[in-house]
Chains A and B, each alone.
Chain A
Amino acid sequence: MTGRHPGGLTPAEEEFRGRVRALLAEDRVRALADEIAAYPPGTEATHLPVHRWLGERGWLAPNWPQEYGGAGLGAAEAAIVTEEMTLAGIPDDVHVLSIDIVGRFLLEVGTEEQKKRHLPALAAGEEIATVLFTEPDAGSDLSALRTTARRDGDGWRLYGRKIYNMKSQYGEVALCAARTTESPVAMHGITLFLLPLRSPGVHVEPVPTLCNDRFNLVVIDGVRLTEADVLGEVDNGWALMNDLLQLERTGVDFHAKARRLLDLVTERAAATGRLADPAYALPLAALDARLRAGHAMAWQQVRNLGAGSPDPVGSAMAKWYVTEQIRPVLDLALEVCGLEAALTAWDGAAPDGGVLEAGLRMGPSHRLASGTSEVMLTLIATNALGLL
């Protein structure tokens, strides 16, 4: 045993959670959360002041070394920040993209120069980094990507189209996967680049979505990059994507989103008297059980990460399990709240400020993001059960 409470927090971690929670309970943060929830259509959460307030304390990326703007803490503290921000109603897209994915890649395989150039600004909440992996014809199967890096002297010129990415209209830099070498094996010859988004040759076009935030189509037309922009080794991008994307996949973030929604449903059930009716109370207790189970599983992955022994199968199980609960939570929201759950934030009379309605529109994204449910099941079937 490590001396930590399995499934619980150490006293130091509890204390850290209390401090983060206290910051997020400040009036300025509550006002910001309310403002975000009421953003008019087309307005998105981007460079949020709350990210800077967390960043000032090293808490936006608490598990990063202090020299890069973190707090030198562990995976548990990073999970705590993720949970608390989501439960406080702060959108997590920028945090996931900048800190959990791009920042993680930089920390693991970036050069010292790349780290110094990007990490402190990301950890301070001053810059945003996004991810350009998916293409019109390459979604879950990233080996099918067609974006090409053509040799140009001592560097490359990138050509291609990336779609379904978020926040690229606001980002400073993007982690972009491109093919540097043609190979009969599709997974070979892919390289990761740090692409400056505000470059001539990068064109960002909106792709309106079901959700409040838009997707983007990013057209890359001959942007010149050099060795200094390569993250990791040339032609080794596939292995990096496979290895490092798993590290952001604990399920903690998705659990917090589901928990926030279920708590709202439970509050409405209590306020309307439906909590006293077993027809509503029993399904609520069942879903609460599933979320508690998912939380335990997600935190098991956090502990594995903290111990330096991430479990890809366990992570896939946690991600799959937790995101599969969101659909039934939203179904129950409609049962408990009826048409009230259909009122948007812009209606002005939604009893929950429109959070449930926004949750209904966001619902499908969770089973797609960060590896679809089917990709998770395939990973489990192959690696844990010897199938497929």
Chain B
Amino acid sequence: MTTAVLDELRELFGQELAPVLRRLGERPRGAADGPAARLGEEDAGTRDAVWATLAELGAFGPHREAERVAIAELMGAALYQSPYADTVTAAALLAATGDPAYGPLLDEAARGAAAVALAVREDGLSGPARPGPLTVHREADGYAVSGRRPFTAFAADCGHLAVVGAGSDGEPVLALVPRERPGVRLTRRDDIGRGDLYAVELDRAAVSGAVHPVGALWPAVLAAARVRQAAALAGAARAAVELAAERLRSRQAFGQPLARQQAPAHRLAALAAEAATAAAFARSVAAAADRGEDVRATAAQVLYLAGDLARRAAAESVHLHGAHGMTEACDAQLFLRRAAVDSQWLGTGTELLREAAALLSDTPNPR
């Protein structure tokens, strides 16, 4: 990816559009299903335009992880919600199987012409490191799968579901399921992040091609996804801090701008430093992944740090906006909403630390 393309992406997710992007996908409370659940015409148009621009800039193509985290950080700062992140992860897993049957879909995904939802969790408690159970049926004309995936993002916007699950022997398998086949049922969820979450019910849903064992592939693919997610969360933390700083600069209290007060200024400075450090760590782990190193432990660690930070930065941003921060009109609350979901999307902090602790004895110190 050239510097010029990265600059264009910076502009796309920059100050001008960010306020619009942050609110893309907002729906009225309780609008899980029905007409109100659909995006407004204007939002839908904006979302399509952003997706098309990403495709035009080649953001979907094969990239080094170092480039992908740069994109993720920009998207995170703008709270941009889309099937992009899960499509990238699903495509990486599909490609890792080496099955040529996935070629056409992967080509489309690389052009931004196809989106793939990632369906891994069996419930809200279990993280993606231990995919939920998946029943694989051998049918006359191929395979079918059954199972529940109640936290699947943007399923309705995707032509395919990459379903990862524990097969009969407990080892992870991958099944690519066309969304519009019989046996696939989607129910829209209503979550704090106002994201596009779906409960997916698979009842002998037909699989496209084979069912692949991915026990040896999924940990590395998940690790790379975690690093991108960490970069996105670090970007969100930075943006939440910048939003609060803007508020402090414009708000007068006790006869002077709030920006002059050391207590809030130092708290924001500390969070800004943490955000920059988490982003640097994500870039460093991505570079290690590009060198072919095993980054499972450090990926869990950077996501643990970035998730915790994104929640704290969002809460501080709301706090420093005062009561205004609690209102729908204030964007700070959007960061708080998203952080609650995004910080644990690929594992809770405790899960991540447990994984890291188990792996650390095999991970050399950085020196």
Q: Footprint of B on A, CB under 8 Å?
A: 5-8, 17, 83-84, 87, 256, 259, 263, 270, 278, 281-282, 284-286, 288-290, 292-297, 299-300, 314, 316-318, 320-321, 374, 376-378, 380-381, 384-388
Contact = CB atoms under 8 A, between A and B. Distances in A.
Contacts of B361: 270
Contact of B288 (A7, A289, A385): A7
B272 A384 contact: yes
A295 B364 CA distance: 13
A6 B272 contact: no
A33 B246 CA distance: 51
Contact of A381 (B268, B274, B305, B350): B268
Given A387-B249, A387-B259, A293 B273 contact: no
B245 A387 contact: yes
A181 to B, nearest CB: 31
Given A289-B304, A292-B366, A380-B273, A385 B241 contact: yes
Nearest to A21: B367
A381 B280 contact: no
Given A259-B365, A296-B277, A297-B280, A289 B287 contact: no
Interface stretch (B43-51, B129-137, B144-152, B352-360): B352-360
Contacts of A288: 301, 356, 360
Given A321-B277, A387-B249, A284 B266 contact: no
Nearest to A318: B277
Nearest to A283: B353
Given A5-B291, A387-B259, A377 B269 contact: yes
B269 A380 contact: yes
B81 to A, nearest CB: 26
Contacts of B241: 385
Nearest to A83: B367
A320 B365 contact: no
A321 B274 contact: yes
Describe A's contact surface by its main secondary structure: helix
B302 interface: yes
Contacts, number: 141
B214 to A, nearest CB: 26
Given A83-B367, A385-B245, A385-B268, A289 B277 contact: no
B269 A385 contact: yes
Of A294, A300, A314, A316, the most chain B CB neighbours within 10 A belong to: A300
B242 A385 contact: yes
Contacts of A317: 272-273, 276-277
B71 to A, nearest CB: 15
B298 interface: yes
B284 interface: yes
Of A83, A84, A388, the most chain B CB neighbours within 10 A belong to: A388
A386 B288 CA distance: 34
B270 interface: yes
A300 B356 CA distance: 24
A17 B364 CA distance: 15
Contacts of B302: 289, 292-293
Nearest to B350: A282
B301 A7 contact: no
B259 A378 contact: no
Contact of B278 (A259, A293, A300): A293
13 contacts: A17-B367, A281-B357, A289-B304, A289-B356, A292-B284, A300-B280, A317-B276, A321-B274, A377-B269, A381-B266, A385-B265, A388-B260, A388-B262
Contacts of A294: 277
B228 interface: no
Of B277, B278, B304, the most chain A CB neighbours within 10 A belong to: B277
Contacts of B311: none
A285 B366 CA distance: 14
Contacts of A84: 367
A6 to B, nearest CB: 5
B276 A297 contact: yes
Given A8-B291, A387-B248, 13 more contacts: A7-B287, A87-B367, A282-B350, A282-B354, A289-B305, A292-B302, A297-B281, A317-B276, A377-B265, A378-B269, A387-B249, A387-B265, A388-B259
A384 B269 contact: yes
A286 B277 contact: no
Given A292-B366, A296-B366, A297-B281, A284 B287 contact: no
A387 B268 contact: yes
Contacts of A295: 284, 366-367
A352 B367 CA distance: 22
B288 A380 contact: no
Interface in B273-324: 273-274, 276-278, 280-281, 283-285, 287-288, 290-291, 298, 301-302, 304-305
B12 interface: no
B272 A296 contact: no
Given A8-B288, A385-B242, A286 B259 contact: no
B66 interface: yes
Nearest to A286: B353
A318 B242 CA distance: 19
